[in-house]
Structure 1
């Protein structure tokens, strides 16, 4: 029986991608580099640190990775605070509340920084439902490396056989698979360029899941 649900955040709980996209491209403009749409899409599921490590190598940037991270974070925070039309993904809040009310442990495992995760969780009052926040910034390798999900599963009240991951990206799903955790692929408008085929099941809307259905997974 499933006892723990591990949520990705971006694209699963909230769609901050437009804010990230704006911040990254503002930063790219400042740096004087041209990042193709294809290259940008390949970063989905990567931590900010890993992204700038790759960009530093690819474009031979002289700036320190930590300074690049701080500037992008500043641009993101400015845009985040100004963006009023930021909403939770449709149906996810009801699912979170349903699972929590029925004793399911909830963990978030996101490639986003702790600062960004906490900003989102504070804005939408989500801290009360989750026992742990796991950030990709704490791991040297990003998704599809399984470290973030392996760590999240180690925080579970149950063995990983009794955990599931909800993901919407190619890299995130591959990370869950490599970690040996049952994966629900969320196929949304925002994941149209992502390959969800390795997920154990695929959903199009969160109303397809509830406590009873989750308990029957895997």
Structure 2
């Protein structure tokens, strides 16, 4: 969801940066990269290490999430280019679509409803439903089990290094649509395709149907 369907990473970065600045702690875009697609428990751990206190780390996290949610409600999160086109195509061709995100379940549901993309999905699968979040394969293995999907008939779309590794480690084909940081060539090579937008996947899917 984050960084692939929705342009949320910018807002996550800005809200954490602004809260940390209130405590006199600098936070850069380069720092934020380590937090992408890791899930909230890892985020809290990293913030705790950054500020040197478990209490302060949790306070920073809570304040940043509160600020994030206020700005989300104000409509500051945009749907990524090509996302609606791909989702409509998949729905029209009777494909089941699932959000499989490192985020918490309530966050996924809230965010997809506010941005009005919830209508395109069969269900939502979250990182807090499995023992280990991305880049471990747990969330995708759980998704396969829960949806009764066949690996050969499943394709994953990811935007980050940890997401690609999670899908590949689960034995799934993955299409990479980079967001903030373009993954290293060794990561790109693990994807079946690297595309500029989600809409660019439509011709590939049409071709796959005819083969």
Q: Same fold (TM over 0.5)?
A: yes
Unmatched 5+ stretches in structure 2: none
* Change in CA separation of 1:80 and 1:28 when aligned onto 2, cut-off 3 Å: same
SS in structure 1 of the partner of residue 110 of structure 2: helix
**Distance in 1 of aligned mates of 2:74 and 2:120:** 26
Cα offset for 1:20?
0.8
Q: In structure 2, what is the equivalent of residue 54 of structure 1?
A: 46
Q: In structure 2, what is the equivalent of residue 4 of structure 1?
A: none
Q: For each residue in 1:107-158, what CA deviation from the matched residue of structure 2 results, as whole angstroms up to 9, or x when unmatched?
A: 1011222233223211232222212211223334331111111111222242
Task: Note if 1:114 corresponds to 2:108.
Answer: no
Cα offset for 1:215?
4.3
Greater helix content = 2
**Distance in 2 of aligned mates of 1:73 and 1:170:** 24
SS in structure 2 of the partner of residue 184 of structure 1: strand
Q: In structure 2, what is the equivalent of residue 18 of structure 1?
A: 10
5 Å matches for 1:1-218? 9-63=1-55, 68-84=60-76, 86-187=77-178, 190-195=179-184, 196-197=187-188, 198-210=190-202, 211-213=205-207, 215=209
SS in structure 1 of the partner of residue 54 of structure 2: coil
* Change in CA separation of 1:64 and 1:152 when aligned onto 2, cut-off 3 Å: farther
Normalising to structure 2: TM-score of the pair?
0.84
Unmatched 5+ stretches in structure 1: 1-8
Q: In structure 2, what is the equivalent of residue 5 of structure 1?
A: none
Superposition CA RMSD, Å: 2.4
Higher relative contact order (CA 8 A, sep 6+): 1
Cα offset for 1:209?
2.0
Normalising to structure 1: TM-score of the pair?
0.82
Deviates more, 1:123-132 or 1:60-69: 60-69
**Distance in 1 of aligned mates of 2:41 and 2:27:** 16
* Change in CA separation of 1:194 and 1:44 when aligned onto 2, cut-off 3 Å: farther
**Distance in 1 of aligned mates of 2:90 and 2:109:** 21
